[in-house]
Structure 1
Amino acid sequence: MEMDLSITEIMIRLLIAMVMGGAIGIEREYRNRPAGIRTHILVCMGATIIALIQTEIASSSLRYAIENPSLAGVVRSDEARLIAQVVSGVGFLGAGTIIVTNRSITGLTTAASIWAGAGLGLAIGMGYYDIALASFVGIMLALTVVKKIIKVHAIKKLEIRFVHREETKEFIMNYFESKKIEVENVDFNVDFRNDYRIYTNVYTIDLPKGLSYTEVIEDLSMYKNITKLRLINV
């Protein structure tokens, strides 16, 4: 970490933060996520600014101690103090991108990218360019490549709302059996409306290879007694 930063070095660090934070934001905005390019640029640059301030505080403390040897044992400068506040404080911003609706949660990846962008900004601001570059590459790979390379066969929940209980349940179970879909668990619910009942079953299912949840929803939606279908991430 360098002391006595020049204005040129400060501008270079802020520019790097803008470029790297913007690149992460572009990926998030391309996927139509809650926080896009401007948010990620501001978070990364903000963290860089805090790190630059902390660097200047440490530099000033060191100069003061050198100029006043008798007070060298009294002067203290904790270089992690402001940085620690960034790490904890940016969590509140990330939490704002997390959306919870019924049994579904979205925005976790964007929240994590904001938090990682703040860490990237801290590395840039402190002048640790090797860490910043390696971290930037890792973040971009995690957001763009990992999901394409690593395929996780996840168990999900399928919410099915329907009428005519016996007839429809038989159709659903026969469909699952014909497609070799394994039912892990079932949650039941019933609503009473005027002279009829509406049933809602939430099936925790595990699909066989070669079958997608989109295909299952399309097949089941063709049945007349089913009024609503919704996929829920576990």
Structure 2
Amino acid sequence: MSEKEVVLRLVLACILGGAIGFERERNSRPAGFRTNILVSLGSTIAMIVSIKLFLEFKASQSVDPGRIAAQVISGVGFLGAGTIIREGFSVKGLTTSAGLWAIAGIGLALGAGFYLSAITTAILVILTLTLLSKVEKTISNIHKKYLIRIKAFDQPGSLGKVGSILGENNIIIKDISIEHCYNEPNIYVNFRVKKPRHIEVNSMFALLAGISGIIEVQIKELD
């Protein structure tokens, strides 16, 4: 592998990583322009070093060109986990984390000299992050997300009644958490739900408020 070839692979890694990172930066995601470039460059140079070590010591059977590449994938997993943020009942950063993992793969492909595979993957990643995000929003709008916070008497059967009402109206429960009220015989129950478009918020509120044992109902739309 010539020095010119090494430089070409690293420059391409910078361009492809930057192209994907630009989309993430434009949408104010945790891992933006520079982070994506660094991941792409780091995985590329790791693959180049791995191949050069193999060529340098190919007489030795203990040299495996895929060993460093495998460690890159594992390492990016930890980096990706750092971009995932839990905010209340929602989790953000999964797409950015998956993007970093994909960029590491692109970098490894470039480091190995698989230009067509790397460039094609980068284009598909960019299309996925831009065009398909609109499709994803359209799909998610079919069932809007809401947070239902209910204050109820701490007695058996209350949660079952709420679950039955929601199920009968095709409202999907995604998550539940319970909080005990301080110095009160009551509980707060938080439901993260998806509701069909035809179900009005006011109707949902009336249905829940009419359940025996329910003291207070709050409904908030989630992003």
- Contact 2:36-2:103 at 8 Å conserved across structures: yes
Identity rate, percent: 38
Partner residue of 1:111?
97
Q: 1:100, CA displacement in angstroms? A: 1.6
Q: Which residue of structure 1 aligns with residue 56 of structure 2?
A: 60
Say if 1:188 and 1:58 are closer, same or farther in 2 by CA, change over 3 A: closer
Q: How does 1:64-79 map to 2 (within 5 A)?
A: 65=59, 75-79=61-65
Q: Is the contact made by 1:157 and 1:202 (CA closer than 8 Å) also made in structure 2?
A: no
Q: Which residue of 2 aligns with 1:202?
A: 191
Alignment of 1:93 onto 2:93: no
Query: Do the aligned partners of 1:162 and 1:199 also contact (CA within 8 Å) in 2?
Result: yes
1:152 corresponds in structure 2 to 139
- Where 1:182 maps in the other structure, the secondary structure is coil
Structure 1: segments with no counterpart, 5+ residues = 66-73, 166-172
Shift of the 231–9 alpha-carbon distance from structure 1 to 2, 3 Å rule, reads same
Check whether the contact 2:25–2:32 (CA below 8 A) recurs between aligned residues.
yes
Q: Which amino acid aligns with 1:7?
A: E
| Alignment deviations for residues 40-61 of structure 1 (CA, whole Å, 9 cap, x no partner) | 0000000000011011112112
SS at match of 1:35: coil
The alignment's C-alpha RMSD in Å is 3.5
Bigger Rg, which one? 1
Match of 2:220 in 1: 229
Contact 2:47/2:68 (8 A) holds in 1 = yes
Q: Which residue of structure 1 lines up, in the alignment, with residue 13 of structure 2?
A: 17
AA matched with 1:231: L
| 2:166 paired with 1:182 | no
Contact 1:159/1:200 (<8 A) preserved: no
Structure 2: gaps spanning 5 or more residues: 154-161, 206-215
Amino acid at match of 1:152: I
Taking a change above 3 Å as real, the CA distance of residues 187 and 10 of structure 1, as seen in their structure-2 partners, is closer
The Cα of 1:161 is off from its aligned counterpart by 3.8
Counterpart code for 2:54: A
Closer/same/farther in 2, CA of residues 164 and 19 from structure 1, 3 Å limit: same
Q: Is the 1:161–1:226 contact (alpha carbons within 8 Å) kept by the matching residues of 2?
A: yes
